[in-house]
């Protein structure tokens, strides 16, 4: 009798104890430094050629990720027949021809441009000085402006404020062209990319001209280049512009990789928590491989660890109630292209997307925290949902005890980090996001962003914080709500 009672009692205890097991914590143990290091040593090796979008290194990385998710037993996202969401990008090579009143100018030595990625033909476009616009015809035109300083961005933004809608671009003329060219060279001569199916946005080209190359037009320009660039009031255009820019356009293929872990609850599993990191980097330049170990090798390998943890839980019948989509995206370095593509071609409806947790660079210390490894910048957590902010805070307090630094968590921060990684393409659709980031450092976008410099204990800890936050988002009885 006693024996039976004690047996009943102990089994009751046992049930009680198993309910108290912290499942989130139990499965977090699979997220570990050794795996992070092993995987990063592969994708951030020279063999992976800096993982440039549309190139061999990116495809090799996609294959590596795909094989990994397959081994873990992850599913294809609903309706998909493999792990990859393919998309096309156009690689645009800067260059072209330009003439003013029939005077031909040469790309680089006489003119450069920015604000225009697509192949563009400008035919007999009238060019006015700003002062003329009041009297000029309201037809598509450009304005010409003689630079007063070297502050391109400032002068352009001031100029733009005065322009009516029919002005379609700006010609800047400078007698300091050569100095400005040196300063802007990398930016204006590097190939750019955009999504092939992008709805053609109206571009606003800024053309930069060398003043001395226009010597022979001095008379025709009616005093434009005399003194401080004053023009006489007259309504006839100063110049007629003809140009062909970005002539070479190459179509390339890229992809996002989607590993789906279906939720256990029949109703809540329709909702999904997305966790992203970009697996592309900037490739090879002059034979030097840019390995991008921190940017964003660390985020990419963190995703593999998260997938493993959630799959372990699922295999034991203890997986989260809502679904989890682990999504390494590409095209980030070319303008957040992969996440842009996903958010305009979502596999799971955006209205069923609870949040996006985005990891981009979590393996180094920045200058503000040289000796203090135990911190992470949190950006965006309270922008759309206070619930999300609180869940992340609580997860950190309970499990990881990192110093959460909100220094960059502001729309007006001059670095504009809130707009600079893939979470933004979710936030712009009103999906709450958190961007986990350990800051920039001297190896940022340098060929020296290498595996040896990564602090793996930090990557592990941040990855666990993302995991615990995702776990709570996926299991909470009530979905997080939007602030406004
Ligand atoms: Zn990055």
Length of the chain, in residues: 484
Give me ligand 1 centre to Cα 130, in Å: 39
* Nearest alpha carbon to residue 438 among 424, 455, 450: 455
> What is the 280 CA–ligand 1 centroid distance (Å)?
8
**Per-position DSSP letters for 419-469, written without gaps between them:** GSSTTHHHHTTT--EEEEE----TTTTSTT--GGG--HHHHHHHHHHHHHH
* Separation of CA 303 and ligand 1 centre (Å): 14
What is the distance in A from the centroid of ligand 1 to the CA of 333? 7
> What residues pack around ion ligand 1 (CB closer than 5 A)?
295-296, 360
Q: What is the separation of C-alpha 165 from the centre of its chain, rounded to a whole number of angstroms?
A: 30
Q: What number of other Cβ atoms are within 10 A of residue 366's Cβ?
A: 17
**pLDDT of amino acid 170:** 97
Ordered domains of the chain (ranges, CATH)? 23-89+250-475 (3.40.630.10), 95-245 (3.50.30)
pLDDT score recorded for residue 232 = 56
pLDDT tier, 136 (very low <50, low <70, confident <90, very high otherwise): confident
Q: How far apart are CA 103 and CA 275, in angstroms?
A: 54
Q: Is 253 left (phi over 0), alpha (psi -120 to 50) or beta?
A: beta
**Count of helix runs (H) and strand runs (E) in the chain:** 11, 20
pLDDT over threshold 70, residue 9? no
pLDDT digits (tens, 9 = 90+) for 412-440: 999 999 999 999 999 999 999 999 999 99
Instruction: Give yes or no for a contact between 39 and 451, defined as CB atoms under 8 angstroms apart.
Output: no
Q: How confident is the model at residue 484 (pLDDT cuts 50, 70, 90)?
A: low
pLDDT exceeds 90 at position 235: no
Q: Identify the pLDDT of residue 329.
A: 98
Residue 133 scores a pLDDT above 90: no
- Mean per-residue pLDDT, 200-228: 78
277 CA distance to ligand 1 centroid (A)?
8
Measure 359 CA to ligand 1 centroid, in angstroms: 9
d(CA 456, CA 215): 59
- The confidence score (pLDDT) of residue 134 equals 83
Q: How far is the CA of 379 from the centre of ligand 1 (A)?
A: 14
Q: What does the pLDDT look like over 74-102, one tens digit per residue?
A: 999 999 999 999 999 999 999 999 999 99
CB 242 within 8 A of CB 291: no
Cross-strand bridge partners of residue 27: none
């Amino acid at each position: 009798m006693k024996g039976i009672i004690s047996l009943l009692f102990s089994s009751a205890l046992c049930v009680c104890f198993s309910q108290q097991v912290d499942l989130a914590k139990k499965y977090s143990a699979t997220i570990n430094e050794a795996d992070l290091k092993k995987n990063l040593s592969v994708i951030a090796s020279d063999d992976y050629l800096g993982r440039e979008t549309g190139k061999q290194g990116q495809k090799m990385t996609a294959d590596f990720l795909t094989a990994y998710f397959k081994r873990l037993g992850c599913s294809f996202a609903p309706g998909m027949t493999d792990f990859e969401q393919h998309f096309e990008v156009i690689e645009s090579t800067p260059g072209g021809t330009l003439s003013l009143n029939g005077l031909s100018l040469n790309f680089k030595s006489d003119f450069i441009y920015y604000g225009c990625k697509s192949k563009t033909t400008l035919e007999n476009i009238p060019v006015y000085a700003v002062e003329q616009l009041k009297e000029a015809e309201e037809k598509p035109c450009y304005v010409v402006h003689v630079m007063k300083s070297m502050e391109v961005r400032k002068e352009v933004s001031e100029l733009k404020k005065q322009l009516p809608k029919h002005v379609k671009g700006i010609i800047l003329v400078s007698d300091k062209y050569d100095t400005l060219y040196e300063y802007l060279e990398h930016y204006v001569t590097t190939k750019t990319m955009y999504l092939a199916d992008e709805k053609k946005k109206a571009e606003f080209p800024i053309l930069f001209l060398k003043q001395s190359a226009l010597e022979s037009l001095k008379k025709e320009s009616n005093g434009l280049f005399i003194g401080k660039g004053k023009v006489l009031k007259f309504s006839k255009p100063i110049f007629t512009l003809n140009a062909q820019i970005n002539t070479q356009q190459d179509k390339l293929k890229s992809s996002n990789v989607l590993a789906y872990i279906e939720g256990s609850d029949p109703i809540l599993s329709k909702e999904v928590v997305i966790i992203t990191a970009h697996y592309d980097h900037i490739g090879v330049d002059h034979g030097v491989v840019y390995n991008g170990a921190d940017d964003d090798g660390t985020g990419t390998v963190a995703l593999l660890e998260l997938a493993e943890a959630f799959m372990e839980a699922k295999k034991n019948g203890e997986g989260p109630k809502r679904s989890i989509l682990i999504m390494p995206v590409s095209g980030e370095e070319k303008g957040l292209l992969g996440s842009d593509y996903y958010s305009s071609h979502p596999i799971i409806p955006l209205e069923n997307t609870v949040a996006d947790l985005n990891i981009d660079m979590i393996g180094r210390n920045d200058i503000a925290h040289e000796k203090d490894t135990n911190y992470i910048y949190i950006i965006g957590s309270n922008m759309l949902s206070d619930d999300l902010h609180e869940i992340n805070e609580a997860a950190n307090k309970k499990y990881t005890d990192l110093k959460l630094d909100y220094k960059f968590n502001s729309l007006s921060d001059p670095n504009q980090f809130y707009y600079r990684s893939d979470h933004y393409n979710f936030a712009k659709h009103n999906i709450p996001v958190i961007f986990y980031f350990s800051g920039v450092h001297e190896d940022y976008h340098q060929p020296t962003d290498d595996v040896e410099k990564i602090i793996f204990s930090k990557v592990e800890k941040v990855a666990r914080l993302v995991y615990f936050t995702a776990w709570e988002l996926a299991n909470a009885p009530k979905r997080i709500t939007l602030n406004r």
